[in-house]
């Protein structure tokens, strides 16, 4: 993200990918997506070499936040992130 976009007070969307193989004890990659906008946002899912399918673990845009067991997406997919939603997903390394 550019400095200008980071400092933009109108920007209410951020996502980050935590590389599990860079942790002290290697683990899954974790993707965190935060949409504080009052409208949907499109998001292109990043990936790293060897990234498998991300399993969706949390979606605050649905009733209890617990997605169906088979919910997930691959690197390169485009997600539509609901307004005021947090998504958490993990991909095994």
- Give tens-digit pLDDT for 36-48: 999 999 999 997 7
Handedness of CA 4, 10, 13, 14 (dihedral sign): positive
Q: How long, in residues, is the chain? A: 93
1 has pLDDT over 80: no
Q: Is the pLDDT of residue 31 over 80?
A: yes
Q: Is 25 exposed, middle or buried (0-12, 13-18, 19+ CB in 10 A)?
A: exposed
Architecture of domain 13-91: Sandwich (2.60)
**27 against 51, higher pLDDT:** 27
- Interval 51-88: pLDDT, tens: 779 999 999 999 999 999 999 999 999 999 999 999 99
Which residues are 91's β-sheet partners? 29
φ, ψ for residue 16, nearest 5 deg: -145, 150
């Amino acid at each position: 993200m550019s400095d200008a976009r980071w400092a933009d007070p109108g920007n209410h969307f951020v996502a980050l990918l935590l590389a599990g193989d860079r942790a002290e004890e290697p683990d899954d990659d974790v993707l965190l997506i935060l949409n504080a906008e009052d409208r949907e946002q499109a998001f292109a899912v990043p990936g790293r070499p060897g990234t498998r399918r991300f399993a969706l673990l949390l979606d605050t845009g649905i009733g209890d936040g617990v997605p169906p067991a088979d919910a997930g997406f691959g690197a390169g997919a485009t997600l539509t992130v609901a307004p005021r939603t947090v998504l958490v997903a993990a991909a095994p390394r």
